Amino acid sequence: MPFAATGRPAFAANLGFMAYFLTAGAAWPAEPASNGYAMQPPNRIEFALSEIKEIETETEDGTGFGQGLPLPPKLGAPPPEESVERRDLPDVEINKDLSLLPEPVRRMRELIVEAAKSGDPETLRPLLGTGPTATQLSFGAIDSDPIQYLKDVSGDQNGLELLAILLDIFDAGYARLDAGEATEIYIWPYFYTLPLDVLDDRQMVELFRIITAGDLQDMRAFGSYSFYRTGISPDGEWLFFLAGD
């Protein structure tokens, strides 16, 4: 069920029909050989990214993260408290306490938020990365430059709406999936890991900061949250920023 990605939001028709899982075969944006897009990160961001690299951790098998991690399936469980482990799924946790995030995750979140607040989508470029570990922005291949793609799918055609959406979803609580496993991941907003009919009134207010009542009606018909969500690996790699189902 495609949606239009306009504001606050209605999902972009050009996102098309989207698969529910990210698989190892999902198309990651290929690193352009000579497309004329030069990466020139500000020194401050470049330094921060080097900090993340220094403190990043490896998986137990040493393979790292970012190779098409699966998105979580629809989950059925009671609504979360502020720091409650899901009893039926012990590998999923819901939290709002940023101090509990691994340092690389916390730092990458800070960098994305800082870039989004700048009002310039170009500041996201060094954070998106390139090649096989580039941040996934679509379930299909992206033929254009990633920053231009974000502008194109943004309701205002300048990328500012998506910057606002990033701020909103990072302001919500996060879900930690598969703690201690090779597939461990931190996802914002946590609504993505919960069935919508279990949210209490406080959580519904949080949800309405991101979507509209009309969007909610469509999502309930579909069966789960399907608006923008984003994921960061424990070593601070920005894995995806996606919408759709």
pLDDT of residue 21: 34
Q: What is the pLDDT of residue 242?
A: 96
3-state secondary structure 155-209: CCCCCHHHHHHHHHHHHCCEEEECCCCCCCEEEECHHHHCCHHHCCHHHHHHHHC
Tell me if 99 sits within 8 A of 84, measured CB to CB. Answer: no
Average pLDDT of each block of 10 consecutive residues along the chain (245 residues)?
41 37 38 41 56 50 40 40 39 87 98 98 96 93 93 96 97 93 95 88 94 93 92 97 89
Find residue 93's DSSP bridge partners.
85, 176
Predicted TM-score of the model (pTM): 0.65
Which residues lie closer than 8 Å to 12 by C-beta, 6 or more apart?
3, 4, 5, 6, 153, 243
Positive or negative torsion for Cα 197, 201, 205, 208: positive
In this prediction, residue 222 carries a pLDDT of 86
